[in-house]
Amino acid sequence: MALSDTVSIISAAVALVSLAFAWKAVKTADKNHSIALFTELHGIYQSDSTFAATQQVWELYKRCIPSADGTPISEKQALQFVVETDRSSKEWKAVHDASTFWRYLTLLVNERFIDQELAFHAFASPAILGFLYPIERAFLSEAFDYKRSLQSLYDRWEIEKARKGQK
């Protein structure tokens, strides 16, 4: 075997080892990025404003559906809320703040930065989406984009519940 063949084989082996290290570095970077996003999301979730907004939304939800079990409010109830609620009220701000948190979570799940199961179990129950997504839909009407909507996350949650035999 010629020296050039030996050098080629060694070079190929070094390239494979380098490729393995590069792949490992990419995986580690992805994991670190996901952890950083989760940490940021957890910080938002733990804030006083998000806590207050979530509590207010649960109360609004219970006025429409006393069990607040994830059952969506009706289109009529959502439209009524959108039309009759003053945009400077505490109720509107609470719905806006809670929706913003869940929209951020939806984006991270859709882009696969955060695992869907983690999203469903690390924060307040996705049942709250039964109130939030119909309001989002009524408020946005023509500009509603299902793929990026709270309804898409709600539907994923419903599928996961059905798969696990829950209700």
Summarize the confidence of residues 26-54 as an average pLDDT.
84
If pLDDT is split at 50, 70 and 90, which confidence band does 138 have?
very high
**Residue length, the chain?**
167
In our burial notation (b when 16+ CB lie closer than 10 A, e otherwise), range 12-35 reads: eeeeeeeeeeeeeeeeeeeeeebe
pLDDT score, position 1: 62
What mean pLDDT is reported for the chain? 88
Summarize the confidence of residues 50-66 as an average pLDDT.
95
Q: Is the pLDDT of residue 72 over 90?
A: yes
If pLDDT is split at 50, 70 and 90, which confidence band does 4 have?
confident
Which of 16 and 56 is assigned the larger pLDDT?
56
